[in-house]
Amino acid sequence: MSDLFRLAPIDTPDSLPHFRHLVNLFGIPSAFIAERFQSITHSFGTRKLEDGSQSTSSKVILYGLIWIHFLAVLPVLPFDKRHRWIKSGLVLKWSPKASSSSSSTGESSRKVTLICFQPVLGTLLAINRLFKSSTWEDVLEDPYLLINASFETWHELIDENAWKLLDLCREAERRTFEHSAKLDIDTSELLAIDYNSIHHLSKDSIHLVEGLDAVLRSLECALRCHNEMEHNSDVWKVTQDALHYRREMFHSTRLRMISVEQRLKNVINLAFNVGTIRDSRVMKEDSYVMKTLSILAMVFLPISTVSSVFGTQFFTQTTLPDATPSSSVGLSLVVSRKFWWLWIISIPLTLTLLVGWGFWIRRSQLKGKGPANWMEDIERANST
């Protein structure tokens, strides 16, 4: 068995010579190379052996080469500081089982090779645990044990980041709920809702669900191909059970992420509603100011209108008749006899405008309550 973690290069220009050597040495398919540079979300491919030594039974289809690609996004804070996409790939190759004549010597001629490209943390440890176990030779019997180990480490990575995203979602929920619960407190801090972070969390949850759907499709393909191998061994049953268990674990993480996605939608709606309510209250306060100014203008408008129409000079100055040349000129302020016209006309006109305005406001409020009262009547009729 060969473990080639150190020989699998990353897709960078300086590693191209080693990459080509690795491709030629192990016969890595060109489809795998094209998928690497396209950064596809999901890939699972198989090829049969070309040496003609595989079983000729129609019920036994033995593949000699499998390649898988993984792609997912990881939530990292701050959102605009790091590249958060992670991709990984593997190529598993094994030779056919030894014939009965060669196996009589007691030595197995099967060779299993696993090549990992950009393996995630924990892949090497999981495979080393498998090698150090007492049943490490089971990999020669069923190479899909290595596939299960790769899916296990990928699930650990995705599940860990799913919990991180859930914690960030809880924090966003807590802050948004605090804003909604304190709408009556007029402070500028309540308006500091981080819409950008909430939308980034929602986007990451969508990407994680997409990555989980992709890896589940790969796992389904692995189960289908593994089901086409020989079934008459205990190792095959153990591997099949392990792959089924791994599938259920991915489904568990996916259900959690769907819940997070729905909760983030609720948080986004609540955040926008909180902002809308706050803005409407500010506009309502402005409308109170404008209403006050309108009332003041309404009170003084009739007076100014009557004064401008009549053009009456209500106050005049006259010279006192007993003024002497030696004394200063005596002046007297006299109110015009038409001064009462102003109040007789202005006061009724002002009262008429105020009463008409109040009646109009009352009528508008009754119209606004009409649909609600109509719905209440319908609900009351249905309840009876």
Percent of residues, the chain, with pLDDT higher than 90: 18
Task: With respect to residue 340, please indicate whether it lies within any of the assigned structural domains.
Answer: no
Q: What DSSP string runs through 177-230?
A: HHHHHTTTS--GGGG---HHHHHHHHHHHHHHHHHHHHHHHHHHHHHHHHHTS-
Round to whole Å and give the CA distance between 22 and 24. Answer: 5
What length does the chain have?
384
- How many independent structural domains does the chain possess? 1
SS3 68: strand
Residue 35 has phi, psi (to 5 degrees) of: -65, -35
Residue 351 covered by a domain: no
Residue 153 confidence class, pLDDT cut points 50, 70, 90 = very high
- Asked whether residue 86 is domain-assigned, the answer is yes
Could you tell me the pTM of the whole model?
A: 0.67
Residue 220 has pLDDT above 90, yes or no: yes
Residue 372 in any domain: the answer is no
**In-domain check, residue 308:** no
Residue range(s) defining the domain that contains residue 169: 2-99+108-280
Q: What is the pLDDT of residue 141?
A: 85
Asked if residue 259 belongs to a domain, the reply is yes
Q: Is residue 182 part of a domain?
A: yes
Provide CB contacts within 8 A for 164, sequence distance 6+.
75
First to last CA, the chain: 79
Residue 239's nearest CA partner among 120, 48, 59, 92 is 92
Contact at 8 Å (CB) between 191 and 48? no
Mean of the per-residue pLDDT values for the chain?
75
Q: How confident is the model at residue 255 (pLDDT cuts 50, 70, 90)?
A: very high
| Domain assignment present for 48 | yes
Mean pLDDT score, 178-197? 69
Q: Please state the rounded mean pLDDT for residues 62-91.
A: 76
